[in-house]
Chain A
Amino acid sequence: MTLFTDTFLIALIAGMAASGVPLLLAGLGEQLSEKAGVLNVGIEGMMLGGAYLGFYIAWATESVGLGFVGGVAGGILVAALMALFCVRMGLNQIVIGIALTLGAEGATALLHHVQFSRLYPRLPDVATWRIPVLADIPIVGPALFDREPVVYLAVALVPFLVYVYRRTHLGLALQAAGDKPAALDSAGQNVLIIRSFAVLGCGALVGLGGAFMSIVGAGVFVPFMSHGNGFIGIVLAMLARGRPLWVLLGAALFGACLSAATALQVAGVDIPTDVVQMLPFLAVMAVLLIAGRNAKLPAALGAAYVRGER
């Protein structure tokens, strides 16, 4: 078949990495938050916060590194609201999450409009790190091993989080906060602090993902640019349950679907782009049908913890 040319494959795989990284970070963040029992529907908003602040700082300081720091800060900023309302005050997590998403959409669009009006300034391309030897592999090499440093960082987070969940007390505490918060409390640890930490950590990861979209992926900030990526992150976390490696696999799958649209155009296949753009969402439904049936979520997910209430 002529479809699978080198150009097509490189475009597909490179695109998979580009669209998979925000999904990976969103999924890992949501997983962290859900592990501790906070169903974070606001990650779409955190992603936008990261995308906007990351882009703005990268543009203002002309430093990609500071831009990513700004992205993390933007995600944490939105997450702090979530921690305040849902963990501290115990309000409904779904309502607050939706409010944060809608609020962040409006706020970032407004800020962008005030600062840039109708201009969409572009950032220069981000320098890549070429990994010797691996980058010389045909097709896969240039697509995966000649990338921006933040891509490697995102992938390196996977084993790091596996370590945290399996090998540290923090991992145990996170799981206890999600499964039986009262047990954690009676063991003398503060459930609200553990949960706040998880939500802020989620914000940091998701914000980084948002910054990746605006700084590396697009090079511009466009209002509403997160475009459902945060919600796919929620699906990834739900499918992967507690396992970061599964988030990586899921992100690769959905990333490939997202990049197929571009890759198919590169290959000159004549399919309406609208149909191709539906691919990732069809994939979500298909994977949910196949693998989502036995997805077991933390017992206390979505429930605010109030001491003494049983």
Chain B
Amino acid sequence: MLDAHPSSPSTTPSTEAPPIVTFEGVTKRYPGIIANDSIDMEFRAGEVHVLLGENGAGKSTLVSMLSGLQQPDDGRILIDGVEKPISSPAEALDIGISTVFQHSMLVPSLTLVENATLGRKWWQRPDRSGTAKAMQDAAKRIGVTLDPMAVTGDLSLGERQQAEITRALMRGARFLILDEATAMLTPNDAARLGELMRRLAAEGMAVVFITHKLNEAVAYGDRISVLRLGKKVGGLSPEDLKSLDAQEATNQVVRLMFGTRDTTASADQKPDMSTVDRGAKPSLEVLALYADAARVPLSNLEFKVWPGEILGIAGIDGNGQKQLAAALAGQAPISDGRIVLDGAYIDRLSIGQRRAKGLRYVTDDRLGEGTVGGFPMSINLLLKEIGRMPYWRGGLEQPEAIRENARQKVKDFDIRTPSIDTPVGKLSGGNIQKVLLARELSGSARVVIFEKPTYGLDLANISATQMRIRETAQNGAAVILISTELDELLSLSHRIAVMDQGGIAGIVENTEDARHKIGELMSGVEK
């Protein structure tokens, strides 16, 4: 989505602009860890400053100190060259620092206008029409269209972020922090946000952009700082970024983030098309499936998946992907149609019966429906087999069998955990995902549904998970891969179906022009 390096990110002579905020030796400790260790950093006007780092590198802590939510334990913060603490969010706003968090900070039950007037003096009456106009003006200035009178809860995440940025502008922000702002956006929305960042920087605003994604960092950043284990381990200056092409810059950043290890460049890999025998009996057939899901009803879904095949499901988030997965797994009722697994109808079966037949569902809601955070890892590995032999006998736990199973899974799936008794909620996102994979992929999996399997993971865990998906298919299971990352789908899938408003807009073979075709299907050009 971002192959082309956009036209010279640094149009302004950024190095000459004075820093708005300077960190000098800023340190923040939490019990047991040093989240930020003596960080020196400068944030300048007219610059998009990208903070890169894996999960737990200390990016969020740094942001919470910039936005006044946390105070450093050591070191100095200079505002416009003068030492001044950012003691509260209100103080940060006064300085002109606005933060757009990964999770929307708008009140869902209020309209955009009402959200924009939050924080005014309590005895005043909200001036709805006046604020709406100011909001429209600010939005127009940065090339965003929005409806100020819309209730926030009805808007997509991308729209909410645009509204938050607009609100920040209305408050006179000159320093905008985007905390993992693209993590939950569709590719198109993310690209739009990237363009918006460039426009804001061109207007002279200082933008701090926190992300996991290297391609975004290189495409939108003027300056990149890399954090690892709470320390700043280096970065790329605007001069570096201008002189290097996208690939060189990416490689350099990867070296900083992971030491010398190079990126596996998963986007360049193509699945082995010859492994799928379409003459054979399909593992999973979905016939004219309808479901009355509340938000996105499914209508007339029809597809087959063969053994060893990976069928990608593309589409903008919230177009029925989740509902499809729930309907297949038996978690949501269907209203019409049939589901056939290995030649037998399974649409009347319960969740447990479908699982016994080899249908597995790896949810993206890892800590919600996927695991019980407070339970030890060893139990979470058997969450769907509680009460069964050989781990339970006559209703009694068999601790040794459970522990043995856990030890084996830890080894097979490379789960990094202090012990097998550690509550799963204490593990990192990548290791929780491994626990889920270990549970769902063990036994005789015939059809596996992966829902956004790499969402929120860092690079090392993304490639481990993607390898696991390939392996699953190679072992003869049919795989349904739901993802909003087009690159991921193109590198893994044999065919890709595009979902649009609860239906399938089309299914394309993963050939050279697949990207183009999918784009057309997603934008609704081809119906």
- How far, in angstroms, from A182 to B105 measured CA to CA in the complex? 7
Asked if residues B108 and A189 are in contact (CB atoms below 8 Å), the reply is: no
- Residues of B near A175 (CB, < 8 A) are 107, 109-110
Asked if residues A167 and B125 are in contact (CB atoms below 8 Å), the reply is: yes
Q: Does A73 contact B (CB under 8 A)?
A: no
- Residues of A near B121 (CB, < 8 A) are 169
Contact residues, B53-90 vs A (CB, 8 A): 64, 67, 69-70, 88-90
- How far, in angstroms, from A186 to B115 measured CA to CA in the complex? 11
Q: In angstroms, how far is the closest chain A Cβ from the Cβ of B302? A: 35
- How far, in angstroms, from A167 to B119 measured CA to CA in the complex? 15
- How far, in angstroms, from A170 to B117 measured CA to CA in the complex? 11
Contact residues, B245-303 vs A (CB, 8 A): none
Q: Does A308 contact B (CB under 8 A)?
A: yes
Query: How many chain B residues touch the partner (CB < 8 A)?
Result: 30
Known: A176-B118, A183-B115, A187-B118. A170 touches B123 (CB 8 A): yes
- Residues of B near A185 (CB, < 8 A) are 89
Q: In angstroms, how far is the closest chain B Cβ from the Cβ of A75? A: 22
Asked if residues B89 and A176 are in contact (CB atoms below 8 Å), the reply is: no
Q: In angstroms, how far is the closest chain A Cβ from the Cβ of B100? A: 10
Asked if residues B119 and A184 are in contact (CB atoms below 8 Å), the reply is: yes
Asked if residues B99 and A176 are in contact (CB atoms below 8 Å), the reply is: no
Q: In angstroms, how far is the closest chain A Cβ from the Cβ of B112? A: 12
Asked if residues B122 and A188 are in contact (CB atoms below 8 Å), the reply is: no
Specify the main secondary structure of chain B where it touches its partner: loop
Q: Does B327 contact A (CB under 8 A)?
A: no
Contact of B118 among A167, A173, A299, A308 (CB under 8 A): A173
Closest Cβ neighbor of B71 among chain A residues: A308
Q: In angstroms, how far is the closest chain B Cβ from the Cβ of A215? A: 32
Asked if residues A172 and B89 are in contact (CB atoms below 8 Å), the reply is: no
Contact of B119 among A180, A187, A299 (CB under 8 A): A187
Q: In angstroms, how far is the closest chain B Cβ from the Cβ of A171? A: 8
Specify the main secondary structure of chain A where it touches its partner: helix
- How far, in angstroms, from A310 to B64 measured CA to CA in the complex? 12
Asked if residues A179 and B108 are in contact (CB atoms below 8 Å), the reply is: yes
Known: A180-B107, A183-B107, A189-B90. A172 touches B118 (CB 8 A): yes
- How far, in angstroms, from A189 to B67 measured CA to CA in the complex? 14
Number of A-B contacts (CB under 8 A): 75
Q: Mark B88-107, 1 if CB is under 8 A from A, else 0.
A: 11100110000101010111
Q: Does B451 contact A (CB under 8 A)?
A: no
- How far, in angstroms, from A184 to B99 measured CA to CA in the complex? 13
Q: Which among A167, A185, A188, A307 has the highest number of chain B CB atoms within 10 Å? A: A188
Contact residues, B108-151 vs A (CB, 8 A): 108-110, 114-115, 117-126
- Residues of B near A183 (CB, < 8 A) are 105-107, 115, 118
Asked if residues A168 and B123 are in contact (CB atoms below 8 Å), the reply is: yes
- How far, in angstroms, from A307 to B67 measured CA to CA in the complex? 12
Closest Cβ neighbor of B115 among chain A residues: A183
Known: A176-B107, A186-B99, A308-B64. A168 touches B118 (CB 8 A): no
- How far, in angstroms, from A169 to B103 measured CA to CA in the complex? 24
- How far, in angstroms, from A167 to B103 measured CA to CA in the complex? 28
Asked if residues A179 and B107 are in contact (CB atoms below 8 Å), the reply is: yes
Q: Mark A35-65, 1 if CB is under 8 A from B, else 0.
A: 0000000000000000000000000000000
- How far, in angstroms, from A61 to B254 measured CA to CA in the complex? 80
Known: A172-B126, A189-B90. A310 touches B103 (CB 8 A): yes
- Residues of A near B70 (CB, < 8 A) are 308
Q: Mark B348-389, 1 if CB is under 8 A from A, else 0.
A: 000000000000000000000000000000000000000000
Contact of A186 among B89, B108, B117, B124 (CB under 8 A): B89
Q: In angstroms, how far is the closest chain B Cβ from the Cβ of A8? A: 44
- Residues of A near B118 (CB, < 8 A) are 169, 172-173, 176, 183-184, 187, 189
Asked if residues A179 and B125 are in contact (CB atoms below 8 Å), the reply is: no
Known: A183-B115, A188-B93. A169 touches B107 (CB 8 A): no
- How far, in angstroms, from A308 to B64 measured CA to CA in the complex? 8
- Residues of B near A187 (CB, < 8 A) are 89, 93, 118-119
- Residues of A near B106 (CB, < 8 A) are 180, 183
- How far, in angstroms, from A169 to B124 measured CA to CA in the complex? 6
Asked if residues B64 and A169 are in contact (CB atoms below 8 Å), the reply is: no
Q: Given contacts A169-B121, A188-B90, could you give 11 more A-B pairs where the C-beta distance is less than 8 Å?
A: A167-B126, A169-B122, A180-B106, A183-B107, A187-B118, A187-B119, A188-B119, A190-B90, A299-B108, A307-B69, A308-B64
B interface list, Cβ under 8 A from A: 64, 67, 69-70, 88-90, 93-94, 99, 101, 103, 105-110, 114-115, 117-126
29 contacts between A and B (CB under 8 A): A167-B126, A168-B123, A169-B118, A169-B120, A172-B110, A172-B114, A172-B117, A172-B118, A175-B109, A175-B110, A180-B105, A180-B107, A182-B105, A183-B106, A183-B118, A184-B107, A184-B118, A184-B119, A186-B67, A186-B89, A186-B99, A186-B101, A187-B89, A187-B118, A188-B93, A189-B90, A189-B118, A308-B64, A308-B70
- Leading 4 A-B pairs by shortest Cβ distance: A187-B119, A188-B90, A170-B122, A187-B118
